[in-house]
Amino acid sequence: MAMRILLVMEEVKCGGAELSFFALCRALSERCEVHLALSRASLDHPTIRALHDSLSDTSVRIHQCKTPLNPGTITNLHPFLRRAASRELSSLMEAVRPDVVIVNLPTVERGQAVVDAAATSRLRPPVWGFLHLSQKPSVIGAKLGRVRDLFAAKLIRRFDRLLTVSKAGAREVVQRYGTDPAEVVQPPTRTLEPLPAGTDRSQLRKASGLPDTFLVGIVGRVQLHHKGHDAALRVIRELLDRGHAVHLVVVGDGPDQQAVRSMAERMGIAAAVTFLGWRDDIDRLMPLLDAVLMPSRYEGLPQVAVQAVTAHVPVIGYAVGGLIELLPGCFTVPYGAEDRLLEAMVSLMQNPDQWPADEVSLRAINWCEPAHAAEKVLALAARP
């Protein structure tokens, strides 16, 4: 009999973790029976709705939960507040009879209604947490972060197994929270293709309204305390001051977009920065860049980096999370060392052939191809 897996996504927003989760869902559906549970409230997000609709050509059985699966921060800290969600999920588990339940964990203390549901179900299926960010809630700037820090160790140890997206994340949860050793399943990612040989990139840039100069991208949620857009702006300003022809492309949206625009204006570099907002054509846009800059304060193993390197676009960033595992050593620098980010960018501009495009692209594909992630999950599920 085929393995039966229930995936639970309780998030109402969409980022790399959710994109990975849907990619895993699709890949698993080609190998076993897959059920996906998500709250109806999450479908108000246009990207989650689009991802939901994209599964229509698969065998995935989708269950829209009436109860919000994560109605607020406090619900993960007290069982009474998540009682309605756990009851609905428990009934769903009774109906589906999964061999394993996997819940998407954007942060360490999430997914508690799913654990409660399994504990009250007659079947008591094992619950795995697929953890994308292993840092403390206070580090990632979560609401009530310091309060959530106090509960995190107890809550994360409730899972029967943890999956993390990097070796660094696996080490961190064991050392900080005293969990059993976590399994590494790099984030399932839709990889990109580099531009074909002989392509007129200048013409493609012109058609996209981008200048034909050295294009640096910072891609992802516009959130200063996470992605470090302020550091990117300072690096670009210094490059311009040194006489380099460079232009920054900010791809994505988020709460700090206006603040980043204002910073660029105050620095006098607004003409050298283009804000593109949220884009759903990253496969077309990414190969037009000369480099991606990732001065992030924290990361798991970001999809942006994986997609960039599979498009043969170099990535320079801080040595946080899985970036240090994916990128060659000279392309990561210690967190906060903006001078070294700058020098790494200058070095790349002067010698672009130093980027080992084929080697890093192959590594990313081998790690993050959704089929590989699905096979790893099934192998773990089959293990006694």
pLDDT score of 186: 95
Bridge partner residues of 100 (DSSP): 5
pLDDT score of 25: 97
pLDDT score of 340: 97
Low-confidence ranges of the chain (pLDDT < 50): none
Q: Which tens digit of pLDDT belongs to each residue from 344-365?
A: 999 999 999 999 999 999 999 9
Distance separating alpha carbons of residues 351 and 355, to the nearest angstrom: 8
Distance from chain centroid for Cα 33:
25
pTM: predicted TM-score of the whole model, two decimal places: 0.92
Q: Are 207 and 284 in contact (CB under 8 A)?
A: no
Q: Answer yes or no: same fold for 4-188+369-382 and 201-366.
A: yes
pLDDT score of 144: 79
pLDDT score of 1: 62
CATH architecture of the region 201-366: 3-Layer(aba) Sandwich (3.40)
Q: Can you give the residue ranges of every domain in the chain?
A: 4-188+369-382, 201-366
The third-level CATH classification (topology) of the domain covering 4-188+369-382 is Rossmann fold (3.40.50)
Q: Which tens digit of pLDDT belongs to each residue from 174-201?
A: 999 999 999 999 999 999 999 999 999 9
pLDDT score of 93: 97
pLDDT score of 53: 96
Distance separating alpha carbons of residues 169 and 171, to the nearest angstrom: 5
Q: Which tens digit of pLDDT belongs to each residue from 206-216?
A: 999 999 999 99
pLDDT score of 14: 84
